[in-house]
């Protein structure tokens, strides 16, 4: 699981996550950054910069593998940052996020005083508590460390909480849940994950994923089909000596484009289509093509496409 990227997205979308970990109210005006200290090529996973120099700067690091020199590096990065940007804050705190205690390094020497000070907060995700009781931001963190067998149920729970609770940016949270599950179940498509999370057809159509896929397919085929239709219309207009040929060709191109969009979406879901099925779809009038485009998200097998065509005929 690419956790660095995942936690970066989480902090960027929901910066209150850090303050939920610390159990304090989210202060206003903080800016989240991932900072590279170029003099040494050090990089701190997350820096929460206060809005004015009187505030506290927070350093955050996600550490999922044991590294027995981690604190040596982490404190070196912190103190280099303090030296470079001292004018931007008045105090500092640090947070390290572990999946469990076994991922932490064994010996803290010679940094034991700092490790055990009030400035450092160590968080173990498997000890945060139940998903139902945690703030949604922390429940998302805990989702990343759940066993594969528990993840589908937990992900559906968080998706339902996102729908029913008054949360900021619910679409961003749903996207994060989907991404976490995709990292765990690499064999699933994004659409399969969304359905696993309990999305209805109408909700699926409103997701960024569906809009992007549908727009991508339309963009690929629409211009081509429109141009072909216009060319046919021009040829017909020249032959018959009528201006209507251009308009008729345009309309044919539009309908052809919609037909090709439907065919490509079906191929993405079910692979190559039987020749008879493809020909049958090409013969549909414009209003049925539009209806099929709406209905195809419900289909899980080609047999359902045939059944829909039978009902529509």
106 vs 6, which has greater pLDDT?
Answer: 106
Q: Is the pLDDT of residue 9 over 50?
A: yes
Q: Is the pLDDT of residue 123 over 90?
A: yes
Omega before residue 110 within 30° of 0, cis: yes
| pTM for this prediction | 0.62
Q: Average pLDDT for residues 9-22, to the nearest whole number?
A: 87
Residue-by-residue DSSP string for 92-158: EEEEEEESSGGGS-S--TT-HHHHTSTTEEEEEGGGS--TTTS-HHHHHHHHTTS-TTTHHHHHHHH
Q: Average pLDDT for residues 150-170, to the nearest whole number?
A: 86
Q: Is the pLDDT of residue 264 over 90?
A: no
Interatomic CA distance for residues 173 and 12, integer angstroms: 11
Tell me the CATH architecture of domain 1-138.
3-Layer(aba) Sandwich (3.40)
pLDDT score, position 208: 59
295 vs 30, which has greater pLDDT?
Answer: 30
Q: Average pLDDT for residues 83-109, to the nearest whole number?
A: 93
For 32, the enclosing helix (H) or strand (E) is strand 31-37
pLDDT band for position 97 (cuts 50, 70, 90): very high
| Cβ contact 2:183 at 8 Å | yes
Least confident of 49-63, 70-84, 103-117, 165-179: 165-179
Average pLDDT score, the chain: 79
Nearest to 173 by CA among 205, 135, 202: 135
| Cβ contact 94:59 at 8 Å | yes
Residue-by-residue DSSP string for 7-30: HHHHHHH-THHHHHHHTS---TT-
The DSSP call for residue 134 is: S
Predicted confidence (pLDDT) per residue in 78-89, tens digit: 999 999 899 999
Q: Is the pLDDT of residue 105 over 90?
A: yes
Predicted confidence (pLDDT) per residue in 171-216, tens digit: 888 888 888 888 888 777 777 777 777 776 555 555 655 555 555 5
266 vs 139, which has greater pLDDT?
Answer: 139
pLDDT band for position 48 (cuts 50, 70, 90): very high
> What is the token pair recorded at 114?
């700092």
Q: Average pLDDT for residues 129-138, to the nearest whole number?
A: 90
Q: Average pLDDT for residues 85-112, to the nearest whole number?
A: 93
Termini Cα distance of the chain = 48
Residue 112 — left, alpha, or beta (φ > 0 → left; ψ -120 to 50 → alpha)? alpha
Which SS3 state, helix, strand or coil, does residue 58 take? strand
pLDDT score, position 295: 76
pLDDT score, position 92: 96
The residue extents of the domains of the chain are 1-138, 146-199, 208-312
pLDDT cut 90: percent of the chain above it: 26
Interatomic CA distance for residues 296 and 302, integer angstroms: 10
Rg (CA), the chain: 27
pLDDT score, position 78: 93
Q: Residues 288, 293, 297, 302: is their CA dihedral positive or negative? A: positive
| Cβ contact 130:142 at 8 Å | no
């Amino acid at each position: 699981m690419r956790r660095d990227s995942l936690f970066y997205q989480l902090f960027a979308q929901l910066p209150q996550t850090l303050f939920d970990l610390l159990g304090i109210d989210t202060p206003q005006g903080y800016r989240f950054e991932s900072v590279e200290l170029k003099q040494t090529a050090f990089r701190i996973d997350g820096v929460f910069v206060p809005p004015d120099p009187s505030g506290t700067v927070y350093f955050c690091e996600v550490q999922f593998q044991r590294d027995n020199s981690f604190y040596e590096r982490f404190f070196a990065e912190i103190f280099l940052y303090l030296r470079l940007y001292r004018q931007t804050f008045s105090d500092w705190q640090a947070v390290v996020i572990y999946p469990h205690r076994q991922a932490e390094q064994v010996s803290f020497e010679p940094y034991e005083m700092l490790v055990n000070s009030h400035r450092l907060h160590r968080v173990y995700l498997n000890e945060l508590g139940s998903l139902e009781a945690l703030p949604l931001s922390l429940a998302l963190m805990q989702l990343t460390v759940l066993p594969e067998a528990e993840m589908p149920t937990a992900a559906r729970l968080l998706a339902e909480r996102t729908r029913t609770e008054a949360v900021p940016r619910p679409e961003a949270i749903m996207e994060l849940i989907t991404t976490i599950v995709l990292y765990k179940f690499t064999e699933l498509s994004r659409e399969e994950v969304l359905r696993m999370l309990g999305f209805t057809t109408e909700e699926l159509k409103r997701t960024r994923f569906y809009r992007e896929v549908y727009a991508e397919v339309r963009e690929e085929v629409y211009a081509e089909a429109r141009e072909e239709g216009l060319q046919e219309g021009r040829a017909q207009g020249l032959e018959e000596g009528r201006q209507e040929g251009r308009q008729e060709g345009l309309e044919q191109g539009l309908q052809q484009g919609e037909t090709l969009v439907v065919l490509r979406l079906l191929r993405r879901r079910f692979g190559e289509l039987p020749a008879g099925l493809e020909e049958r779809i090409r013969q549909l009038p414009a209003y049925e093509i539009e209806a099929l485009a709406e209905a195809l998200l419900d289909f899980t097998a080609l047999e359902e496409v045939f059944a829909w065509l039978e009902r529509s005929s």
